[in-house]
Chains A and B, each alone.
Chain A
Amino acid sequence: DVKVTQSSRYLVKRTGEKVFLECVQDMDHENMFWYRQDPGLGLRLIYFSYDVKMKEKGDIPEGYSVSREKKERFSLILESASTNQTSMYLCASRPTRLLTQYFGPGTRLLVL
């Protein structure tokens, strides 16, 4: 079974704080993704990575950055959290040979 884990299920941060969301997958997948999920909007892609140290912007990268130093780990960074970044954040991974993405349990982030 594919296992994608996220470091926290719930996080509460203050405006202006630097926030790190961590994602780890154990299936040696080349591709990893960060989405945010908001009611009525579905999932929107923030960033993805197709290899170590490689990244590409998704649809809504503003206010976010990412880091992929190791194949199994993909970090999402909010340099200076703002209240409009309160959301559910979902990490996913997939192997290059398959099209299906596998998701982690999500992190609910509240920025006060």
Chain B
Amino acid sequence: AQKVTQAQTEISVVEKEDVTLDCVYETRDTTYYLFWYKQPPSGELVFLIRRNSFDEQNEISGRYSWNFQKSTSSFNFTITASQVVDSAVYFCALGKAAGNKLTFGGGTRVLVKP
């Protein structure tokens, strides 16, 4: 069975602080995919990134960066110099190589205060 754990339910920071969201996953598959989605107050989940299990390179996109460590089954997400617009719920998800099912973590609510 697959499982995704986001241990932090809520994080509150002041604008310009960095914030790191933890994601730990469990799977028996050797090939799998990991995702991060952002859910702003409007409700729609916005796709941020997808990584496959063979690519452990860290990735940076603007103020966002991701640290994938297969050895610890973690796929952590850092927002650098946070802004109020980063306030949202962030979900980590795990997908099989074949098939349609995504397993989501419980989400981490990030509140960035001005």
Contact = CB atoms under 8 A, between A and B. Distances in A.
Q: Do A and B come from one complex?
A: yes
Interface of A: 9, 31, 33, 40-45, 48, 50, 56, 58, 88, 90, 92, 94, 99-106, 108
- The prevalent SS among residues of A at the interface is strand
A100 B47 contact: yes
Interface stretch (B64-72, B76-84, B99-107): B99-107
A100 B104 CA distance: 13
A91 to B, nearest CB: 10
B13 interface: no
Contacts, number: 53
Contacts of B33: 99
Given A33-B100, A42-B91, A48-B100, A102 B42 contact: no
A45 B4 CA distance: 14
14 contacts: A9-B43, A40-B106, A42-B107, A43-B91, A43-B93, A43-B104, A56-B100, A90-B43, A103-B44, A103-B45, A103-B46, A104-B44, A106-B43, A108-B43
Interface residues on B, range: 20 to 34
A42 B104 contact: yes
Nearest to B43: A106
Contacts of A45: 101-102
